[in-house]
Amino acid sequence: MENRKVLKSGEFLVSEIEANDIFIPEEFNEEQLMIAQTCRDFLNAEVIPNIDKTEKQDRELMKSLLKKSGELGLMGISVPEEFGGFGQSFVTQMLAAETIGAGYSFSVAFMAHCGIGTLPIMYYGSYDQRQQYVTRLVTGELLGAYCLTEPGAGSDANSGKTNARLSEDGRHYVLNGQKMWITNAGFADVQTVFAKIGNDRVLSAFIVEKEFPGVVVGPDEHKMGIKGSSTAQIYYNDVKVPVENLLGKPGEGFRIALSILHMGRIKLGANVLGAAKKAIDHSVQYANERKQFGMLISAFGAIKHKLAGQVIRVFALESAIYRVSKDIDDLIEKYKSEGCDKGRASIDGISHYAVEAAILKVYGSEMLDFVIDEAVQIHGGMGYSAEMAVEKGYRDSRINRIFEGTNEINRLLVVDTAMKRAMKGDFDLFGEAEKIYGELDRLAAAKDSGSADYYSEKLNAIKNFKKIALIAIHGASKQFDKKLVQEQEVLFNISDIISEIYIAESLALRVKKLESMKGATAVSLYKDMLDVVVYDAAGIVAKNAYDAIYSFAAPEDSAKLTKAIDILAAVKGVNVKEARRRIADKLISDNAYKF
């Protein structure tokens, strides 16, 4: 894998890579699996037995659980050794994030601390700031929070009103303002706070200690889910922040905020995997115990359909998560080899893959909502009872479509960021789109040769989905030009097409690589998953393409465009009923997610 081909962010739309060029979860090494097991053991020993107590908003209990995880070293997985961490790869960080994701509210508090609570200082702080704060955040001696959102500034983060003015003696910034929806607010010792200096139009970032006079933390919010996680407002009343606690440069706060959000999005994609796998375990175990009409409900086709649907979405997301995680690792190493500071190399490597981060955040959060909703349905009336874990999982899941930028904002980012990367010259999106548009007549008359082998057939179908994406991007760009940004419905259509492509391609490459490692017999069920994903994606891609085309094309053009879509979205039919039943039967036999 040393000389593997690595695509830039969004480049998958116009380029293909070989299966051997991607990393797959089946390649985790022994150390990575041991770290995941340590996380799992901690959840089972300390967190899960206390979940009901944390739900009662016991700040001290959650604080003690976090500190215990710090004592075990779990908080230092992503931090370099020189600052007290383990300096693990991004792939390993994502595996830990996935495993911790099964921890309900604890996972929210833990991920907020380890990610947005610690890493802004690690990535953007001076050496002294890292020594003073990161070394203690890693052990759990200090707990961290990230303070960006305000009552009037949510998705539009740069519109915040919190202000910092330089004191007359030049030794402090005097901070005034209000932050809301702050995770870990109730017990965080250190806060990364975003504010505008004086009359600046852009944000700066500051390291603020809870004990600074004038910092006031409000009571915990009463939330639908993640009740064990402390979420509160924080008020800053003439808080004197030493000038040496400015994080990065003046005016760099917006860049810091965006970069940290990219990281949060991609890690959320891993986090929801752990929650989804736990929900699947609950689903199948209940289905294997519950009898109706004289037989276990796991024997019914309707239940098998649901169980298989859960598994397929999880396995597909997992394929994409670790594919891009390895790409990020390689880019970080490249930046470090060019002399970049470790912290900046890490955040720049993560931020580069903004297109994929937004895809995985949207797809992952909606995947978990689907999986946990089906888990409740499989439980029937018991699923609605607070006695059952799936009820808690259902409530906890809903926040993920709002966290780290709403899914609406992230859908817009997928398209906008891909187009901006192309304009910068990272890859030739518009040239390829122009070429496809010029071939519409030929595409509309094309016939399927039907002679491709299994993987070529699947990857050719996905390649055709890419052509559909390019047709939609080209047509919408030509029609709306600079007003495209206002056509959010069309951008949503294009974004969903792009997401289906990345997920399906990641799955196809994973299954193909796995077959080369373990043989055809070992991957028969994974081929069933790939069959279903490509078959389903064809319908989703076509529907979104039609919606986009009818939004921008003149009647005389739409007929030609839709005919091309019909050809490009056509895939070989599969017996999805039997494919799903085979997947479900393995799950039912194992009585747990073991894919």
In the chain, the amino acid numbered 157 is A
Contact 375, 285 (CB under 8 A): no
Q: Quick count: other Cβ atoms within 10 Å of Cβ 5?
A: 11
Give the position of tokens 């390993």: 92
Token pair of 551, please?
A: 């939004």
3-class secondary structure, 268? helix
Is the alpha carbon torsion for 321, 325, 328, 334 positive or negative? negative
- SS3 label, residue 146: strand
Given a contact cutoff of 8 angstroms between Cβ atoms, the answer to whether 228 and 151 are in contact is no
> What is the DSSP annotation of 453-520?
-HHHHHHHHHHHHHHHHHHHHHHHHHHHGGGGGG-HHHHHHHHHHHHHHHHHHHHHHHHHHHHHHH-T
d(C-alpha 485, C-alpha 479), whole Å: 12
Per DSSP (E only), the strands in 306-440 are: none
**Residue from 55, 150, 391, 404 carrying the catalytic annotation:** 404
Q: How many angstroms separate the CA atoms of 363 and 376, rounded?
A: 20
Residue 3's CB is within 10 A of a number of other CB atoms, namely 5
Tokens of 230: 């402390």
User: Is 27 in the active site?
Assistant: no
Residue 427: left (phi > 0), alpha (psi -120 to 50), or beta? beta
Task: Count CB atoms within 10 A of the CB of residue 477.
Answer: 17
Bridge partners of 192, per DSSP, are 146, 207
Three-state SS sequence of 452-472 = CCHHHHHHHHHHHHHHHHHHH
Which of helix, strand or coil describes residue 302?
helix
**Comparing C-alpha atoms, which of 133, 10, 150 is closest to residue 430?**
10
Q: Which residues are the active-site residues?
A: 404
